[in-house]
């Protein structure tokens, strides 16, 4: 297939309000988009064409065609140049001959970060079937160092859901469930409702085929009965507002099938007409104060439904969504007994609602980058807070994920070194470690790995470990394997692994002068500065003086003190545990 034909493929668009300005994107050919005419983007397109020659995506679609389809979805979010380049190249490291280092050399660190981030998200999402969907969602949030990688990843998922025919029914349902339960909620949390609706639209018929057919039949029945009255109502409303001095754009839509399904399930109803917001209008104005003026005018010509008004302008949703919502009956042109939801917002609110973090693409301006990443930080904080309030220990909060040169994902604790990576891959590789390349460059032995790093270990033919490695290894399993090897080869009379013995004088003093415990102290942390301690809420150790204690280092550096018999301690990563004693 020619490149020009690929660029002219029909667009993928979500079901949306008729009359929306986003619909105008469909009228322009992708081949004519100004972004594709820029020199760096044209260069990336040529690299993609050469790299993808003769290759197919795992869904069976030619790889270049897949990337152009992702580009088509991404265009709707008005991306920056670096993100477009990353979109075109986000599968080049799947094959041979291209690496993240090559991408950085040709297109710069930002493109490398987006491609590497998207690749890491893809690898984790497709290889994490043993985890719950909630854990997958939480991990995807925590792996997103650059929010543009997450947005690109979500656009890729939209296209993947269009091409599940090559998979078995079971696999297709698994990826569709991820779309509904993980990817769509992520898009909503980031405020990008356009992607949320796309993901739900494509996944719903696969996961709930019978319910999707039932709702589609009911929707056809409603249309046959009432006709397309919304278009006429929108035109009348726009004229009415103009007569009252308000310049506004009025759009209309029918509720999306998956949204209907969730609402009917939640309310335990079986008939479509019982859904209040089955039909909706959206009024877009220029000024905040006009929102409330429009609300008053609408309540003059329609009858408000009690308890159906929501003011998200004065009280925005946590993801930044702002709009006024009201539900009315008796609007001009609307059949008797039909409820119509009306959303009222400004153009700025509308862009934020549809694009979310994608409304802040200009990452060369510090403020917009901070705004975009702030939302991701809030997501992470919300997850952490929810875990703590529920009494759960977050097992993944201090983990990082790095890649082998072949693209396999390796999970390590924060602060892990290439030496930890080597032992994690295989004990023999760790014992024969000589050096490591991270993202193509040789790094020192104590280099701390980061999310998305590509690590290549250079090793000798035979083992030659050093006892000093014990101080550099972060993983307990690697230290244990190294100690065993050194002991077996008589290399540790010099490596003391026993805990320090308390002074007899101090021990005697404690026995002869017992005092009730007054607090906690962490011991054997390996740091000079004492760590702050905080009593855990789950087992309340301070209420049980003298009980054996155990500590867990949280991400914020505070040690949460538990009773040693606390059930939550069993699930904690051993790397996060520290010894805690009563202070007298």
Residues 40 and 114 in one domain: yes
Two tokens, residue 173: 């349902």
Structural domain including 11 reads: 3-207
* Whole-Å CA distances, 253 to 17, 267, 273, 422: 5, 22, 15, 55
Q: How far apart are CA 438 and CA 457, in angstroms?
A: 9
d(CA 130, CA 135): 10
Q: Examine residue 381 and state whether it is found in any structural domain, yes or no.
A: no
The rounded distance, in Å, linking the Cα atoms of 562 and 550 is 5
Give me 305's structure tokens: 């439904």
Q: Which residues pair with 535 in a beta bridge?
A: 561
Beta strands in 47-201 (DSSP E): none
Structure tokens, 331: 């609007």
From the list 102, 122, 31, 125, the residue with the least C-alpha distance to 72 is 31
Query: What pLDDT score was predicted for residue 371?
Result: 47
In sequence order, the 6+-apart residues with CB closer than 8 A to the CB of 267 are 274, 275
Residues 110 and 164 in one domain: yes
Q: What is the CATH number of the domain that holds 274?
A: 3.30.460.10
CATH code of residue 105: 1.10.3210.10
Is residue 216 within 8 A of residue 251, CB to CB? The reply is: no
Same domain, 181 and 33: yes
Token pair of 403 as six digits = 């890649």
- Find out whether 482 and 469 touch, Cβ atoms under 8 Å: yes
> Would 389 be classed as within a structural domain?
no
Angle, CA 125 vertex, CA 123 and CA 129 arms, to 5°: 110
Report the alpha-carbon distance of residue 350 to residue 66 in Å, rounded: 29
Same domain? For 181 and 39 the reply is: yes
Q: How many CB atoms lie within 10 A of CB 521?
A: 17
For 410: left if phi > 0, alpha if psi spans -120 to 50, otherwise beta; the answer is beta
Closest CA to 212 of 174, 163, 264, 152: 264
Place of tokens 């400004």: 346
CA distances from 540 to 419, 516, 547, 568 (A): 38, 17, 11, 12
Domain identity same for 138 and 7: yes
Could you tell me if 218 and 329 lie in one domain? yes
User: Does residue 263 share a domain with residue 200?
Assistant: no
Residue 11: inside a domain, yes or no? yes
Read off the DSSP letter of residue 528. Answer: S
Question: Which residue is associated with the tokens 């809420």?
Answer: 537
Q: Kindly state whether residue 502 falls inside one of the protein's structural domains.
A: no
Residue 38 lies in a domain: yes
Cα separations in angstroms, 574 against 257, 476, 484: 46, 8, 19
The structure tokens listed for 358 are: 């994608």
195 and 252 share a domain? no
Kindly state whether residues 194 and 72 are assigned to the same domain: yes
Query: Does 268 share its domain with 316?
Result: yes
d(CA 517, CA 107): 61
Q: Which residues of 484-495 are buried (b: 16+ CB within 10 A; e: fewer)?
A: ebbeeeeebeee
CA distances from 100 to 126, 373, 412 (A): 20, 23, 20
Residue 507 lies in a domain: no
- What is the C-alpha to C-alpha distance for residues 100 and 294, in angstroms, rounded to an integer? 52
CATH number at residue 457: 3.10.20.30
CA 578 to chain centre: 31
- My answer on whether 535 and 574 are in the same domain is yes
Structural domain ending residue among the three candidates 185, 207, 229:
207
Q: Where are the alpha helices (DSSP H) in 90-146?
A: 100-107, 109-126, 133-142
Tens of each residue's pLDDT in the chain, 584 residues? 343 343 333 333 444 565 544 333 333 445 567 788 899 999 999 999 999 998 999 888 999 999 999 999 998 888 889 999 999 999 988 766 677 888 888 999 899 989 988 888 887 787 667 667 777 777 777 666 778 888 999 999 999 998 888 788 888 998 999 999 989 988 887 778 889 999 999 999 999 999 999 999 998 988 888 888 999 999 999 999 999 999 999 999 888 899 889 888 887 877 787 777 788 999 999 999 999 999 999 999 999 988 889 999 988 887 778 999 999 999 999 998 888 999 999 999 998 887 776 766 554 444 444 445 444 544 544 444 344 333 333 434 467 778 887 767 788 888 899 999 999 999 999 999 988 888 777 888 888 888 778 889 998 888 989 888 988 898 888 998 999 898 887 644 734 443 344 444 444 444 443 444 447 887 765 443 356 788 888 888 888 888 889 888 765 557 788 888 887 777 676 766 778 888 76
Cα–Cα distance between 115 and 99 in angstroms, integer? 10
Q: How distant, in Å, are the alpha carbons of 28, 31, 90, 120, 269 from that of 103?
A: 30, 23, 10, 15, 53
Of 357, 386, 413, the residue that ends a domain is 357
SS3 of 368-407: the string is HHHHHHHHHHHHHHHHHHHHHHCCCCCCCCCEEEEECCCC
Cβ-count burial of 122 within 10 angstroms (0-12 exposed, 13-18 middle, 19+ buried)? buried
Task: Name the domain count of the chain.
Answer: 4
For 438, the enclosing helix (H) or strand (E) is strand 433-438
Looking at the structure, do residues 149 and 27 belong to the same domain, yes or no?
Answer: yes
Classify residue 387: in a domain, yes or no.
Answer: no
Total number of residues shown for the chain: 584
Q: List % helix, strand, coil for the chain (3-state, nearest 5).
A: 50, 15, 35
Neighbour-count burial for 342-358, b at 16+ CB within 10 Å, e otherwise = bbbbbeebbbbbbbbbb
How far is the C-alpha of 71 from the C-alpha of 305, rounded, in Å?
42
Among 176, 207, 238, which residue terminates a domain?
207
pTM: 0.66
Decide if 346 is inside a domain. Answer: yes
Structure tokens, 215: 């709702």
For the chain, how far is it from start to end, CA to CA, in angstroms?
78
């Amino acid at each position: 297939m020619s490149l020009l034909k690929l660029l002219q493929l029909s667009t993928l668009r979500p079901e949306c309000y008729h009359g929306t300005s986003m619909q105008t994107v469909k009228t322009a050919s992708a081949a004519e988009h100004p972004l594709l005419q820029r020199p760096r983007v044209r260069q990336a397109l040529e690299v993609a064409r050469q790299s993808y020659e003769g290759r197919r995506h795992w869904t069976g679609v030619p790889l270049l065609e897949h990337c152009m389809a992702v580009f088509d979805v991404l265009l709707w979010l008005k991306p920056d140049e670096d993100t477009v380049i990353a979109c075109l190249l986000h599968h080049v490291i799947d094959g041979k001959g291209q690496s993240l280092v090559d991408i950085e050399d040709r297109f710069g660190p930002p493109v490398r970060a987006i491609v590497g981030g998207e690749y890491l998200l893809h690898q984790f999402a497709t290889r994490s079937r043993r985890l719950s969907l909630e854990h997958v969602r939480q991990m995807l949030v925590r792996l997103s160092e650059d929010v543009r990688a997450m947005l690109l990843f979500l656009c890729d998922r939209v296209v993947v859901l269009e091409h599940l025919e090559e998979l078995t029914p079971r696999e297709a349902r698994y990826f569709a469930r991820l779309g509904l339960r993980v990817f769509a909620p992520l898009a909503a949390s980031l405020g990008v409702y356009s992607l949320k609706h796309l993901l739900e639209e494509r996944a719903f018929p696969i996961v709930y085929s019978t319910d999707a057919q039932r709702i589609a039949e009911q929707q056809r029945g409603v249309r046959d009965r009432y006709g397309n009255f919304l278009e006429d109502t929108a035109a009348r409303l726009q004229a009415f507002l103009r007569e009252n001095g308000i310049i506004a754009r009025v759009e209309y839509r029918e509720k999306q099938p998956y949204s209907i399904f969730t609402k009917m399930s939640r309310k335990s109803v079986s008939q479509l007409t019982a859904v209040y917001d089955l039909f909706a209008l959206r009024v877009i104005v220029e000024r905040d104060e006009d929102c409330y003026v429009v609300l008053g005018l609408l309540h003059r010509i329609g009858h408000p439904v009690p308890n159906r008004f929501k003011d998200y302008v004065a009280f925005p949703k946590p993801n930044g969504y702002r709009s006024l919502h009201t539900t009315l009956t008796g609007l001009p042109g609307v059949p008797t007994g039909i409820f119509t939801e009306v959303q009222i917002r400004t153009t700025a609110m509308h862009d934020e609602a549809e694009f979310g973090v994608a409304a802040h693409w200009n990452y060369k301006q510090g403020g917009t980058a901070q705004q975009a990443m702030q939302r991701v930080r809030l997501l992470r904080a919300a997850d952490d807070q929810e875990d703590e309030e529920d009494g759960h220990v977050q097992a993944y909060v201090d983990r990082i994920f790095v890649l082998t040169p072949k693209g396999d994902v390796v999970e390590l604790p924060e602060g892990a070194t290439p030496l930890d990576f080597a032992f994690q891959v295989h004990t023999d590789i760790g014992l024969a470690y000589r050096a490591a390349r991270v993202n193509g460059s040789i790094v020192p032995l104590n280099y701390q790995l980061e999310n998305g790093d590509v690590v290549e270990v250079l090793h000798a033919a035979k083992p030659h470990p050093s006892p000093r490695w014990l101080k550099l290894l972060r993983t307990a399993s690697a230290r244990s394997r190294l100690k065993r090897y050194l002991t077996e080869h008589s290399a540790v009379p010099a490596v003391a692994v026993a805990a320090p013995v308390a002074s007899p004088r101090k021990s005697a003093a404690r026995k002869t002068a017992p005092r009730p415990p007054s607090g906690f102290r962490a011991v054997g942390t390996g740091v000079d500065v004492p760590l702050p301690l905080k009593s855990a809420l789950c087992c309340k150790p301070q209420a049980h003086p003298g009980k054996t204690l155990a500590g867990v280092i949280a991400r914020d550096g505070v040690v949460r003190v538990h009773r040693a018999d606390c059930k939550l301690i069993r699930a904690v990563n051993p790397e996060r545990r520290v010894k805690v004693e009563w202070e007298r």
